[in-house]
Amino acid sequence: MSSVIEDVMARKLFNSRGEETIEVDIVTTDGFGRAGAPAGASKGKAEVVSYPEGGVDAAITKLEELIAPELIGMDAEEQNEIDALLHEIDETENFGNVGGNTVFAISLATAEAAATSYDLPLFQYLSGYLANELPYPLGNVLGGGKHALGKTTDIQEYLVIPFKAPSFAEAAKANIMVHQKIGAFLRKADKKFTGGRGDEGAWAPNIENEEALKIVVKACEEVSEEQGIECRACLDVAASSFWNPKESVYVYSMEGKKRDSGEQLEFMLQLIEDYNLAYVEDPFEEDDYESFAELTKKVKNCLICGDDLFVTNRERLTQGIKMGAGNSLIVKTNQVGTLTDAWETMRLAKRAGYVPVMSHRSGETTDTHIAHLAVGFSCPVIKTGVLHGERVAKINELIRIEENLGNRAQMSIL
């Protein structure tokens, strides 16, 4: 078996929002890897640059002229060396020269090419034969913010997570049932509701923030009782998207309210306590480590997760750990560039007791790699949507992985 790279190719494709994106193929002597880059609508300001000036076309040109000649002849097994080379070629801290999405696609395709060179699934190549834990699916069922058009909730995502599910397949089914019940509740509550959905397949109704949460909690309670699974409501507030830095307030358009940092803290505490929330992501703007730390101190049995706060970045996570800001982080490889960069950030998180959540982006491809990364990197939670084909692709791949593991498969301990 040989994993020596023989060819590197790139093309322009479209993501789930119809935006142009890059896809990369890595061909080895005995293997093949392919990866496409997703894109976020709600981005942290500290994320790497997605594409160089000139967009996807410029990224492909730079890949062909600068990167491919260097990669050919290298061994795809040498992931660290290849990822270090990508940094060296780019020569910037944020991949501003060749683009973060370019190096993301190369890095992930390289890992898959190495795995297939040895006839191994990616998750097993990354973790060895002892990997046997499936993540809990965290699914977006209702929302608005930057993921939907028109008059929708200020809070970006209302999510559900099914604890105590005996298998991943049953956990995924529970999320789908919650999504279906919410749709029925919305149609009953508002005869004008047309079934509109956001980028990730979540319902996007014209409804106030807390009213939406009540509907999600009701659906969770009904499915929990029917399935014997503890479904709990969660939020991705994406607070940076409605933070007004000039006034230092969070502007809740649907409620006609403005909340300063202290009021935002009290509002988050109230929602967590009143609705038994299991997870709250980005409850404050992306530089407010102090409020993240204060909220984390005051809650129990709830993950306080940083996405825009940390952007899968080791330096920002180190700052958060020092201050006790949050107890969980979103892992999005294309926020930081390479697989090695993401792995090092996640390893730091685990050592500090933070729960890593492998995550999709709002603009997705039909790639299923994050399913393998979640298992291969032992992430207890995967945030990957509930419905829409590009989300279901990840869910279905995890069901296949569960089947592959057979009797060894078990749900993660969280």
Strands laid side by side in the 257-259 sheet: 243-244, 249-252, 257-259
Confirm if 170 and 354 have CB atoms less than 8 A apart: no
For the chain, how big is the Rg over CA atoms in Å?
Answer: 21
Tokens of 7: 């060819």
The three-class DSSP label of residue 78 is coil
Stated as kind and residue range, the H or E segment containing 244 is strand 243-244
Query: Strand 136-143 vs strand 133-134: parallel, antiparallel, or unpaired?
Result: unpaired
Confirm if 59 and 103 have CB atoms less than 8 A apart: no
Crossing angle of the two packed helices 168-189 and 209-227, in degrees rounded to 10: 130
- Residue 158 pairs with which residues in a beta bridge? 142, 235
Neighbours of 166 (CB within 10 A): 11
Question: How much of the chain is in helix, strand and coil states, percent to nearest 5?
Answer: 45, 20, 35
Confirm if 313 and 93 have CB atoms less than 8 A apart: no
As a whole number of angstroms, the longest Cα–Cα distance in the chain is 63
The three-class DSSP label of residue 85 is helix
Confirm if 294 and 272 have CB atoms less than 8 A apart: no
**Residue from 173, 332, 383, 394 carrying the catalytic annotation:** 332
Instruction: Reply yes or no on whether 200 is catalytic.
Output: yes
Q: Looking up tokens 């977006």, which residue turns up?
A: 140
**Residue from 23, 77, 200, 402 carrying the catalytic annotation:** 200
What burial letters (b/e) apply to 50-69, b meaning 16+ CB within 10 Å? bbbeebbeebbebbeeebbe
**Residue numbers annotated as active site:** 200, 332
